[in-house]
C-alpha cells in the first residue's frame, strides 16, 4: 500500500508547501559548503514508524544527504534513544527537518497508540483495525503506521469493498418495500466473488434480516457489552463480527472479551498525538582550509641576479 511513488508524492507536496521559493533563512545564514551531522532523538518512549518517509524528505531535498537508522519500523524505543543519524549538506538537512519530523512524529504516534490497543486485546480473537477517519492526503502513511503498531487495516477506500451503513440501508429498504434482506441479496448478486460485503446494524432486530442475505461481515455499531455478547452468539459464525463505537483504551479489553472478531478504532488516526522526536545537530565539520602550523621553508636560492649595468 505504501509504495515509493506514494511516499515521494506526499513528501514532495509537503516540501513544496514548506519552502515554495526556497529556505531563505538557511540560504542567507548557512554557507553553501557547510556540512552537518545530526541525530533523530526520542524525547519519549514509543514505537517507531516512518523510516522510508523520513529518508525521502531528506533525499528529495538533497540526494547527498545520508540517513542511517538505528531502529526499524515497528520497533519499540526508550526515551533518549538515538533513532537515526543524518549527515550531509547543512542547508538541505535544515530545509528537510520540519517536514521529516512532522511526518515521522505523526506516524510514530499512531504506531505507539495502536500498540497499546493491541496489547490490551492480546489473548482474544479480536484484531484492532483502523477506519477511513484519516488525514486527507496522508491515508497511506497513517495506515502503514497502524500496521507498524501491530494493528490491521480496514478497507482502504470506498472502491475496495461494499460497506452498507445506516443511510445506505434506509435508501435500499425504500427501494425494496422495506425488505432489507431482498435489497442486500440484490447487491450480493451483482458482486464479484472477491468483493467483500459488510453491513452495519445498530439494533439487535436488524441482525437476522442482514445475515439472511449472506453477507461477509456484520458491524454491531454502538452495542453495549451485553448486546455485543448476545450478537456474537446470535451470529454464531455465519459472518465476521465487527464492533464499532465507544471504543477507547478503557473499554477495548472488555469489548474484545465479548468474542467479536474485529474492533475498529477511529481514534488511531483521527485524534492521535504526535510523538515527541527531535533532530539535533551534534557535529559541524570545519570547512575552513587548514592553516599550516609553521611557515614553509624558503625555496632554494637560484643563480645570483646580474647587477652589472
- Which positions are catalytic? 98, 133, 165, 200, 221
Give the C-alpha separation, 278 to 40, whole Å: 6
Q: Per-residue DSSP letters for 15-63?
A: HHHH-BTB-HHHHHHS-TT-EEEEEEEESS-EE---HHHHHHHHHHH-T
HSE-up of residue 89 (Cα within 13 Å, Cβ side): 17
CB 83 within 8 A of CB 71: yes
Question: Of 50, 109, 43, 44, whose CA–CA distance to 274 is shortest?
Answer: 109
CB atoms within 10 A of CB 249: 12
Question: Of 50, 126, 113, whose CA–CA distance to 266 is shortest?
Answer: 113
Q: Could you list the beta-strand ranges (E) of the chain.
A: 35-42, 46-47, 66-69, 76-77, 82-89, 127-129, 162-164, 197-201, 217-221, 240-244, 262-264, 277-283
Which three-class secondary structure state does DSSP give residue 222?
coil
Residue 47 exposed, middle or buried by CB count within 10 Å (0-12, 13-18, 19+): buried
CB atoms within 10 A of CB 175: 11
Question: Of 93, 35, 30, whose CA–CA distance to 62 is shortest?
Answer: 93
CB atoms within 10 A of CB 203: 12
Pseudo-torsion of CA 226, 229, 234, 235, nearest 10°?
A: 140
Amino acid at each position: 500500500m505504501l509504495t515509493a511513488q506514494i511516499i515521494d508524492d506526499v513528501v514532495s507536496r509537503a516540501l513544496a508547501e514548506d519552502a515554495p521559493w526556497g529556505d531563505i533563512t538557511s540560504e542567507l545564514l548557512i554557507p553553501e559548503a557547510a556540512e552537518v551531522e545530526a541525530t533523530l532523538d526520542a524525547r519519549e518512549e514509543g514505537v517507531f514508524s516512518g523510516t522510508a518517509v523520513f529518508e525521502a524528505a531528506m533525499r528529495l531535498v538533497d540526494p547527498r544527504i545520508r540517513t542511517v537508522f538505528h531502529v526499524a519500523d515497528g520497533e519499540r524505543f526508550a526515551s533518549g534513544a538515538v533513532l537515526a543519524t543524518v549527515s550531509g549538506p547543512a542547508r538541505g538537512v535544515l530545509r528537510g527537518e520540519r517536514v521529516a519530523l512532522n511526518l515521522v512524529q505523526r506516524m510514530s504516534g499512531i504506531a505507539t497508540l495502536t500498540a497499546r490497543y493491541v496489547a490490551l486485546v492480546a489473548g482474544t480473537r479480536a484484531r484492532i483495525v483502523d477506519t477511513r477517519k484519516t488525514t486527507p492526503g496522508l491515508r497511506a502513511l497513517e495506515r502503514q503506521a497502524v500496521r507498524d503498531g501491530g494493528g490491521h487495516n480496514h478497507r482502504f477506500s470506498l472502491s475496495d469493498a461494499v460497506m452498507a451503513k445506516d443511510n445506505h440501508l434506509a435508501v435500499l429498504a425504500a427501494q425494496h418495500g422495506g425488505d432489507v434482506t431482498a435489497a442486500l441479496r440484490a447487491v450480493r448478486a451483482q458482486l464479484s466473488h472477491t468483493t467483500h460485503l459488510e453491513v452495519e446494524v445498530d439494533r439487535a432486530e436488524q441482525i437476522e434480516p442482514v445475515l439472511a442475505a449472506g453477507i461477509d461481515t456484520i458491524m454491531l455499531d454502538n452495542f453495549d457489552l451485553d448486546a455485543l455478547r448476545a450478537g456474537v452468539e446470535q451470529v454464531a459464525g455465519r459472518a465476521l463480527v465487527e464492533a464499532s463505537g465507544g471504543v477507547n483504551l478503557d473499554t477495548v479489553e472488555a469489548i474484545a472479551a465479548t468474542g467479536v472478531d474485529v474492533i475498529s478504532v477511529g481514534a488511531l488516526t483521527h485524534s492521535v498525538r504526535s510523538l515527541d522526536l527531535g533532530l539535533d545537530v551534534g557535529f559541524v565539520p570545519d570547512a575552513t582550509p587548514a592553516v599550516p602550523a609553521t611557515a614553509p621553508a624558503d625555496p632554494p636560492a637560484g643563480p645570483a641576479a646580474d647587477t652589472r649595468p
